[in-house]
Protein backbone atom coordinates (compact mmCIF):
# COMPACT_ATOMS: atom_id res chain seq x y z
CA UNK A 1 0.00 0.00 0.00
CA UNK A 2 1.06 3.56 -0.64
CA UNK A 3 1.90 5.73 2.41
CA UNK A 4 -1.14 8.00 2.04
CA UNK A 5 -3.46 5.00 1.76
CA UNK A 6 -1.91 3.55 4.91
CA UNK A 7 -2.42 6.83 6.78
CA UNK A 8 -6.06 7.06 5.69
CA UNK A 9 -6.71 3.46 6.63
CA UNK A 10 -5.10 4.00 10.04
CA UNK A 11 -7.22 7.13 10.60
CA UNK A 12 -10.41 5.27 9.76
CA UNK A 13 -9.50 2.39 12.05
CA UNK A 14 -8.64 4.85 14.83
CA UNK A 15 -12.08 6.44 14.56
CA UNK A 16 -10.93 9.75 13.10
CA UNK A 17 -13.70 11.82 11.51
CA UNK A 18 -14.00 11.53 7.76
CA UNK A 19 -12.65 14.34 5.63
CA UNK A 20 -15.33 16.46 3.96
CA UNK A 21 -16.05 15.26 0.46
CA UNK A 22 -16.02 18.73 -1.05
CA UNK A 23 -14.68 21.38 1.32
CA UNK A 24 -14.83 25.00 0.28
CA UNK A 25 -12.23 26.51 -2.02
CA UNK A 26 -10.93 29.69 -0.30
CA UNK A 27 -9.20 30.95 -3.45
CA UNK A 28 -12.39 30.69 -5.49
CA UNK A 29 -14.42 32.30 -2.70
CA UNK A 30 -11.99 35.24 -2.57
CA UNK A 31 -11.89 35.58 -6.35
CA UNK A 32 -15.69 35.65 -6.61
CA UNK A 33 -15.92 38.07 -3.68
CA UNK A 34 -13.46 40.33 -5.45
CA UNK A 35 -15.64 40.64 -8.55
CA UNK A 36 -14.85 37.64 -10.75
CA UNK A 37 -17.38 35.38 -12.39
CA UNK A 38 -17.08 31.89 -11.02
CA UNK A 39 -19.18 29.33 -12.92
CA UNK A 40 -18.77 25.82 -11.52
CA UNK A 41 -16.79 27.07 -8.51
CA UNK A 42 -16.89 25.53 -5.05
CA UNK A 43 -18.13 28.41 -2.90
CA UNK A 44 -19.40 26.21 -0.06
CA UNK A 45 -20.23 28.29 3.05
CA UNK A 46 -19.04 31.54 1.44
CA UNK A 47 -20.01 34.75 3.21
CA UNK A 48 -21.23 37.28 0.65
CA UNK A 49 -23.63 39.01 3.04
CA UNK A 50 -24.07 42.76 2.59
CA UNK A 51 -22.19 42.71 -0.73
CA UNK A 52 -23.09 44.06 -4.13
CA UNK A 53 -22.40 41.41 -6.76
CA UNK A 54 -24.53 42.40 -9.75
CA UNK A 55 -24.42 40.58 -13.06
CA UNK A 56 -22.17 37.71 -11.94
CA UNK A 57 -22.08 34.21 -13.36
CA UNK A 58 -22.31 31.45 -10.76
CA UNK A 59 -23.88 28.88 -13.08
CA UNK A 60 -23.31 25.37 -11.75
CA UNK A 61 -21.46 26.69 -8.69
CA UNK A 62 -21.72 25.12 -5.25
CA UNK A 63 -22.94 27.83 -2.89
CA UNK A 64 -24.45 25.44 -0.37
CA UNK A 65 -24.83 26.95 3.13
CA UNK A 66 -23.56 30.32 1.90
CA UNK A 67 -24.67 33.61 3.43
CA UNK A 68 -26.16 35.90 0.79
CA UNK A 69 -28.25 37.89 3.26
CA UNK A 70 -28.78 41.57 2.47
CA UNK A 71 -26.73 41.21 -0.72
CA UNK A 72 -27.55 42.76 -4.09
CA UNK A 73 -27.22 40.22 -6.90
CA UNK A 74 -29.33 41.65 -9.71
CA UNK A 75 -28.98 39.87 -13.08
CA UNK A 76 -26.76 37.18 -11.53
CA UNK A 77 -27.02 33.67 -12.93
CA UNK A 78 -27.29 30.72 -10.56
CA UNK A 79 -28.50 28.31 -13.27
CA UNK A 80 -28.05 24.69 -12.11
CA UNK A 81 -26.20 25.88 -8.98
CA UNK A 82 -26.30 24.15 -5.59
CA UNK A 83 -27.97 26.70 -3.30
CA UNK A 84 -29.17 24.26 -0.65
CA UNK A 85 -29.44 25.79 2.82
CA UNK A 86 -28.47 29.26 1.54
CA UNK A 87 -29.44 32.28 3.62
CA UNK A 88 -30.58 35.03 1.25
CA UNK A 89 -32.59 36.97 3.84
CA UNK A 90 -33.46 40.48 2.65
CA UNK A 91 -31.39 40.22 -0.51
CA UNK A 92 -32.12 41.81 -3.87
CA UNK A 93 -32.05 39.34 -6.75
CA UNK A 94 -34.02 41.12 -9.49
CA UNK A 95 -33.78 39.36 -12.87
CA UNK A 96 -31.55 36.63 -11.40
CA UNK A 97 -31.50 33.23 -13.12
CA UNK A 98 -32.27 30.31 -10.78
CA UNK A 99 -33.28 27.91 -13.59
CA UNK A 100 -32.48 24.32 -12.68
CA UNK A 101 -30.92 25.39 -9.35
CA UNK A 102 -31.35 23.40 -6.14
CA UNK A 103 -32.79 25.79 -3.53
CA UNK A 104 -33.69 23.07 -1.01
CA UNK A 105 -34.15 24.57 2.49
CA UNK A 106 -32.98 28.00 1.31
CA UNK A 107 -34.15 31.11 3.17
CA UNK A 108 -35.48 33.91 0.98
CA UNK A 109 -37.36 35.74 3.74
CA UNK A 110 -38.03 39.33 2.70
CA UNK A 111 -36.08 38.89 -0.53
CA UNK A 112 -36.78 40.86 -3.71
CA UNK A 113 -36.93 38.40 -6.63
CA UNK A 114 -38.90 40.31 -9.29
CA UNK A 115 -38.00 39.33 -12.86
CA UNK A 116 -36.10 36.22 -11.75
CA UNK A 117 -36.35 32.86 -13.54
CA UNK A 118 -37.22 29.73 -11.53
CA UNK A 119 -37.76 27.28 -14.42
CA UNK A 120 -37.01 23.77 -13.19
CA UNK A 121 -35.65 24.99 -9.83
CA UNK A 122 -36.02 22.70 -6.83
CA UNK A 123 -37.73 24.60 -3.98
CA UNK A 124 -38.28 21.84 -1.40
CA UNK A 125 -38.35 23.40 2.07
CA UNK A 126 -37.45 26.89 0.80
CA UNK A 127 -38.89 29.76 2.86
CA UNK A 128 -40.24 32.69 0.82
CA UNK A 129 -42.01 34.53 3.64
CA UNK A 130 -42.39 38.19 2.70
CA UNK A 131 -40.64 37.68 -0.65
CA UNK A 132 -41.54 39.82 -3.67
CA UNK A 133 -42.13 37.33 -6.49
CA UNK A 134 -45.17 38.70 -8.34
CA UNK A 135 -43.27 39.02 -11.63
CA UNK A 136 -41.03 35.94 -11.63
CA UNK A 137 -40.86 33.54 -14.57
CA UNK A 138 -40.96 29.76 -14.72
CA UNK A 139 -42.58 29.27 -11.32
CA UNK A 140 -45.18 26.48 -11.06
CA UNK A 141 -47.71 25.49 -8.45
CA UNK A 142 -45.95 22.12 -8.10
CA UNK A 143 -42.73 23.90 -7.15
CA UNK A 144 -44.50 26.14 -4.65
CA UNK A 145 -46.30 23.18 -3.05
CA UNK A 146 -42.91 22.03 -1.71
CA UNK A 147 -41.91 25.47 -0.37
CA UNK A 148 -43.51 27.82 2.14
CA UNK A 149 -44.28 31.49 2.65
CA UNK A 150 -46.70 33.73 4.48
CA UNK A 151 -49.51 36.19 3.80
CA UNK A 152 -47.03 38.86 2.71
CA UNK A 153 -45.38 36.66 0.05
CA UNK A 154 -46.21 38.19 -3.36
CA UNK A 155 -46.68 35.62 -6.14
CA UNK A 156 -47.76 35.65 -9.79
CA UNK A 157 -51.53 35.56 -10.28
CA UNK A 158 -53.15 32.17 -9.69
CA UNK A 159 -50.31 30.71 -7.64
CA UNK A 160 -50.40 29.97 -3.91
CA UNK A 161 -47.76 28.94 -1.39
CA UNK A 162 -48.27 26.88 1.78
CA UNK A 163 -47.82 28.75 5.07
CA UNK A 164 -44.55 28.09 6.89
CA UNK A 165 -44.92 26.32 10.21
User: Mind giving me the DSSP string for 24-71?
Assistant: --HHHHHHHHTT---TT-B-TT-B-TT-B-TT-B-TT-B-TT-B-TT-
Residue 164 inside a domain? The answer is yes
The model carries a pTM of: 0.86
pLDDT bucket at 22, cuts 50 / 70 / 90: low
Residues contacting 77, CB < 8 A, separation 6+: 56, 57, 58, 59, 96, 97
CATH of the domain at 153: 2.160.20.80
Contact call for residues 153 and 129 (beta carbons, < 8 A): yes
pLDDT bucket at 24, cuts 50 / 70 / 90: confident
Element (H, E) at 13: helix 3-13
Residue 11 inside a domain? The answer is no
Residue 94 inside a domain? The answer is yes
Query: Residue 21's pLDDT is what?
Result: 47
Residue 63 inside a domain? The answer is yes
Q: Alpha-carbon distance 33 to 49, whole Å?
A: 10
Domain count, the chain: 1
Domain that holds residue 91: 37-165
Residue 3 inside a domain? The answer is no
Query: Residue 16's pLDDT is what?
Result: 40
Indicate whether 8 pLDDT > 80: no
Amino acid sequence: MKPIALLLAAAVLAGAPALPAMAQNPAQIARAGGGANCPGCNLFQADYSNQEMKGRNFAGARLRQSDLSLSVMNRTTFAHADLRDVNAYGGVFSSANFSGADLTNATFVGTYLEGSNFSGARLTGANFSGAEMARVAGLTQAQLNTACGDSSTRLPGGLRIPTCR
